[in-house]
Amino acid sequence: MKKLVVYSGADRLPSGRAAGGITEGCMVLEGGAFRGVYTSGVLDALMEAGINLQCTIGVSAGAMNGINYVTGQIGRSARINLRYRRDPRYVGVQAYRGNRGIIGFDFLFGEYDKQDPLSWGALERNGRRFVAVAANCCTGKTEYFERGNCTDLRKAIQASASMPYVSRPVLVDGVPCLDGGCTDKIPFGWALRNGYQKVVVVRTRPDDYRKTIRERSARWAQRVYREYPAFAKALGECDRNYNRQCDMLERLKRQGRVFVISPSEPVTISRLEKDMEKLGRLYHLGYEDARRQLNALRAYLA
């Protein structure tokens, strides 16, 4: 295999274990494919500062980041993406052949995990709650997978991060599922419904971002997912629902009900960005954005 192109600052990424104890509250992590590198930076800064919320719910890349947050592994999410984004076993045609999806989860949970293990034992010991959001292809509804209602969290994370159109549905306990962003892109509503008084939301787009609605998107969803009409309907409506979520989140933020960390600069990378230096800069943007808000966040959580 030819030498991989990695982020030039990969050797200087933070590492170690999260400091501090567990704080009551729910961390809500938006997805966004490789825009999730921003979230990696935010969470590393929070772990270094000892801000470890009792519950974490993540969608797609948010779920992939979130599992490393609840196990307290500083830098692990960043090491994956800033070292291996250009590895064909992780992203691309080779990954698709082995996984029937654009992301190589067999590499992620197999070979990579052997050299930089995910600490499932830490999750068992610390008692923190982790929820992976996925879309049920049969019902078009959202599934919130966690210990107690799911026998394999790895499969739940894989389903949560399996992008529509470029991934086959993933069976989670026999249920075909895809990217949770198809039905619930920013699941702060779940946190509020479950009674969390302190809710921290990490965005991967600036607060004022809204999606452009394209009618042909709904028609394309119906054509591709004829086998799953309820899912096709939900997928066709997801951008409108996302814009409504953003409007609601903005109101809750103004009211002081939720705390939002979002990019302080426009995010210009693509969902499957290959430029390792751009990804590295996005990671550091998240890290610095979080550090600047530590005092305000501590005051909110108090």
pTM: 0.96
pLDDT tops 70 at residue 31: yes
Please tell me which residue in 44, 179, 184, 289 is annotated as part of the active site: 179
Asked, for residue 301, whether it belongs to a domain, the answer is no
Please tell me which residue in 40, 60, 77, 162 is annotated as part of the active site: 60
Q: What distance in Å separates the CA atoms of residue 184 and residue 284, rounded to the nearest whole number?
A: 27
Q: What is the pLDDT of residue 94?
A: 86
Domain span including residue 89: 30-296
Asked, for residue 4, whether it belongs to a domain, the answer is no
pLDDT category at 129 given cuts 50, 70, 90 is: very high
Q: Is 136 strand, coil or helix?
A: strand
pLDDT tops 70 at residue 193: yes
Q: Is-catalytic flag, 179?
A: yes
Asked, for residue 199, whether it belongs to a domain, the answer is yes
Under 8 Å between Cβ of 210 and 229: no
Considering only CA atoms, give the Rg of the chain: 18
Nearby residues of 201 by Cβ (< 8 Å), 6 or more positions away: 28, 30, 186, 188, 249, 258, 259, 260, 261
Q: What distance in Å separates the CA atoms of residue 67 and residue 17, rounded to the nearest whole number?
A: 14
Q: What average pLDDT does the segment 60-75 reach? A: 98
Q: What distance in Å separates the CA atoms of residue 86 and residue 210, rounded to the nearest whole number?
A: 29
Q: What is the pLDDT of residue 1?
A: 54
Q: Average pLDDT, whole number, for the chain?
A: 96
Asked, for residue 12, whether it belongs to a domain, the answer is no
The residue among 138, 132, 151, 137 whose CA lies nearest residue 60 is 132
Asked, for residue 273, whether it belongs to a domain, the answer is yes
Q: What is the pLDDT of residue 168?
A: 95
Q: What average pLDDT does the segment 109-125 reach? A: 92
How do beta strands 175-179 and 170-172 pair? Answer: antiparallel
The total domain count for the chain is 1
Q: At what angle do helices 76-84 and 61-70 cross, to 10 degrees?
A: 140
Q: How many residues are listed for the chain in this entry?
A: 302
Q: What is the pLDDT of residue 220?
A: 95
pLDDT tops 60 at residue 70: yes
Q: What is the pLDDT of residue 46?
A: 98
Q: What is the pLDDT of residue 19?
A: 84
pLDDT category at 20 given cuts 50, 70, 90 is: confident
Asked, for residue 23, whether it belongs to a domain, the answer is no
Q: What is the pLDDT of residue 98?
A: 75
pLDDT tops 90 at residue 24: yes
Asked, for residue 7, whether it belongs to a domain, the answer is no
Q: What average pLDDT does the segment 144-162 reach? A: 96
Could you report the per-residue pLDDT of 195-214, keeping only the tens digit for each?
Answer: 999 999 999 999 999 999 98
pLDDT tops 60 at residue 119: yes
Q: What is the pLDDT of residue 14?
A: 97
pLDDT tops 60 at residue 294: yes
Asked, for residue 64, whether it belongs to a domain, the answer is yes
Q: What average pLDDT does the segment 44-67 reach? A: 98
pLDDT tops 70 at residue 17: yes
- The percent of residues in the chain predicted with pLDDT above 90, rounded, is 90
